[in-house]
Amino acid sequence: MYKKIIIKLSGESLGEKDVGIDFSSVDKIISEIIPIYEKNISIGIVVGGGNIWRGAIDGKLIDKTAADYIGMTATLINGMVLGERLKSKNIPAKVFSSFGVSNFLQQFTLEKIDNAWKNRNIVIMVGGTGRPHFTTDTASAIFAVESKAELLLKATNVDGLYDDDPKKNPTTKFIKKISFNDVIKKNLKVMDMAAFSLCRQHKIEILIFNFNKSGNILKAVSGKNVGSLIHL
């Protein structure tokens, strides 16, 4: 059983058909997280903003840097909704931003994060890295390194890693365990390279798993046979 984990959630997981905010989707996320919380595991969540703003699509007609800042702002909305919904179910949660948001969100510091965990809060990180041209994958890796997490879980809508795109190639093979070096050799598109390199350097394992299957995340943090594990 792990003691401290970071979960990378896509913004699309909060929406209906990947778009907007759908409270039944938000509540489903929470229903999967509560059993982990009840195991006294410290939980950090990094949430994306793709349900509100997708820079690769929506940002084509504006400056790339501005588009990235808009995307970072979208994560603030998602994190606040998730945090408030957790609190409505009597699960304490704190939302921290990577950049200053003045009067309604605290800016991230390691001391604030540690205090939040000591007081049994679920910690939600928003704002990405606080700088453009970096993904929320990189933000989750940085958060995992800074907080000395034992595992980074990337929630997806597929069962884990494959040697090809399973949606395009029906003969693709599932990969249960693979080393960081072999991921690079096979050029598997797990996360962006900055995030991947950080985890490898700091010896933080990555688990790619299907968040849509009920109970998967509890099995994963309990060391059971779920998803694809990337190890040293």
**Model pLDDT for residues 71-104, shown as the tens digit of each residue:** 999 999 999 999 999 999 999 999 999 998 878 8
Residue carrying the six token digits 């994060």: 113
CATH number of 4-231: 3.40.1160.10
- Total-model pTM: 0.93
Domain-wise residue ranges, the chain: 4-231
Weakest mean pLDDT among 61-75, 132-146, 183-197 = 183-197
Write down the pLDDT at residue 81.
Answer: 97
Residue 190 pLDDT greater than 90, yes or no:
no
Task: Using alpha carbons, select from 74, 75, 56, 72 the residue that is nearest to residue 64.
Answer: 56
Phi and psi, residue 18, nearest 5° = 75, 5
The amino acid that residue 34 corresponds to is I
Task: Using alpha carbons, select from 122, 135, 113 the residue that is nearest to residue 54.
Answer: 135
Provide DSSP, 106-142: EEP-HHHHHHHHHTTPEEEEESTTSSTT--HHHHHHH
Write down the pLDDT at residue 115.
Answer: 97
Check if the beta carbon of residue 121 is closer than 8 Å to that of residue 92. yes
Write down the pLDDT at residue 4.
Answer: 96
Write down the pLDDT at residue 131.
Answer: 94
Bridge partners of residue 5, in order along the sequence: 43, 151
Residue 59 pLDDT greater than 90, yes or no:
no
